[in-house]
Chains A and B, each alone.
Chain A
């Protein structure tokens, strides 16, 4: 016997593009950002080498940072104007449906009681993405404060929010580990879901379509 699945449209193109911009820019940002913190490979040769290692790393960091910010802006739009799966109403555990789904997702991940199919993300994932989104704004703000430290306008709000440059650098650095943590858990959970339920979750972020088991009742 086999499962019977039906294909559903889950995620729109803009949503999928923002996902991959996040993914690629985060890899670049983490790599170059850590390099800026601790330049672990260095050029000891003075003559004949004009490779501008650190300057280039910083350039790629800033360029990737702007891409990241663009994706954050697009994601902000989608929180309110995306399709049903992309909206904030599908993520926040404030409605009865989402609260139920939030605890259901925790039990699901603890192997206690497996989930009821849902076209969008479960509410636990949605909440995590919302938290990540807010932390990304902190990351962007601290990044701009570090990038334009001499601008009096940037100093005015940057100083009020973060204090000195050193404090902003500290926040920017510590938050980096949140993104590593997020990437580790996110990739693991996505693969785990695909292995466990065969909904095609991993490919859904490429194709936009998800497969739901038709014999099991859907909640939404």
Chain B
């Protein structure tokens, strides 16, 4: 593990050793044999690498931050080094008109050849006025840049599915790239933030084979999102044995038991988090003692909150708020049913008592 001081904060050069290391990590994430590493390396050093335009819309820059500020600086540098980043508002030196000029030049010079990376959701309500860069709406910019690119990579849950911005009531009408761009290969790398390795693997795959990796039906690469978190979680054995954390800080929590009962969304979430982990320090939310929040799934937020409960809150029709848990709805239905049965049976008994003698006569007549 390389630490900050080893590479030096100000030293932006990347050593060959760490370059090979990064390519190896990406190859491992892609599930490739070590014999493929030289191909990845030669693709990543090829002078014909496509330039990248990185668009920031409604987002917190957390995806970029997770790339740049990883404890292992090599991955961030490797990504920035191996792609020719022509436009990225956070890291580029140019500003204002110069920056917009860069974007324009790249689009014209590499028409149909550049990769468009989108970070953040795109607001669509009221003509998209809720996100403007250089006086233009995010919708306008995306409509200009994405159709002329070779491929679109949506990084983060916001760009993939709308993410946090699209949570109810979605005041800005935020949507993901897939809802707006048609006719271009789009790959989604959801997560809040996604693992840099998943992004690096996708980019290297594209550079090496000139095509995007195989995806599931939500456009997520299968090498990173092909398996449920629950199915390769280190706490899975506790789940199968029925050993659970009942509440945070209890004995089970101290023993490292399964977090299912305190709302872990691992059984509903697809990602490589338990295998790849974050920031090269072997950590991810579940190993830190909190359940998975399900950030890589569409409808993240609305369908995953409250984070400490198993199922989302139930919306009451006509906008009358929410019920705290799905279970309480079911219990109410059961209670009303039991009450109705009781009343119905009691009505029969009362009727029989009131008409007791009359009924016998009725029968006799027949």
Contact = CB atoms under 8 A, between A and B. Distances in A.
Given A170-B326, A174-B314, A180-B330, 7 more contacts: A1-B363, A49-B241, A53-B240, A53-B241, A55-B240, A152-B217, A170-B311
A51 B146 CA distance: 55
Given A1-B364, A111-B347, A155-B217, A177 B299 contact: no
Contact of B310 (A37, A149, A160, A185): A37
Contact of B334 (A38, A42, A109, A180): A180
Interface of B: 216-218, 222, 226-228, 231, 239-244, 251-252, 255, 260-261, 265, 267-270, 294, 297-299, 303-304, 310-312, 314, 326-327, 329-330, 333-334, 337-338, 341, 344-345, 347-348, 351, 363-364, 366
A166 B333 CA distance: 22
Contact of A44 (B228, B252, B270, B326): B252
A192 B345 contact: yes
A167 interface: yes
Interface residues of A, number: 46
Nearest to A165: B268
A217 to B, nearest CB: 12
Given A163-B298, A170-B312, A46 B255 contact: yes
A52 B241 contact: yes
Interface of B (DSSP majority class): helix
B228 A150 contact: yes
A185 B344 CA distance: 11
Interface of A: 1, 3, 37-39, 41-44, 46, 49-55, 109, 111, 149-150, 152, 155-156, 159-160, 163-167, 169-170, 173-174, 176-177, 180-181, 184-185, 188, 192, 196, 215-216
Contact of B243 (A37, A42, A188): A42
Contacts of B240: 52-55
A39 to B, nearest CB: 6
B297 A188 contact: no
19 contacts: A39-B260, A43-B242, A44-B243, A44-B252, A52-B242, A150-B226, A150-B227, A164-B298, A165-B297, A166-B265, A166-B299, A166-B303, A174-B329, A176-B330, A177-B330, A180-B334, A184-B338, A188-B344, A216-B366
Contacts of A52: 240-242
B242 A184 contact: no
A3 B334 CA distance: 37
A180 B330 CA distance: 9
Contact of A166 (B222, B243, B294): B294
Nearest to B350: A111
Contacts of A215: 366
A49 B241 CA distance: 8
A156 to B, nearest CB: 5
Contacts of B217: 152, 155-156, 159-160
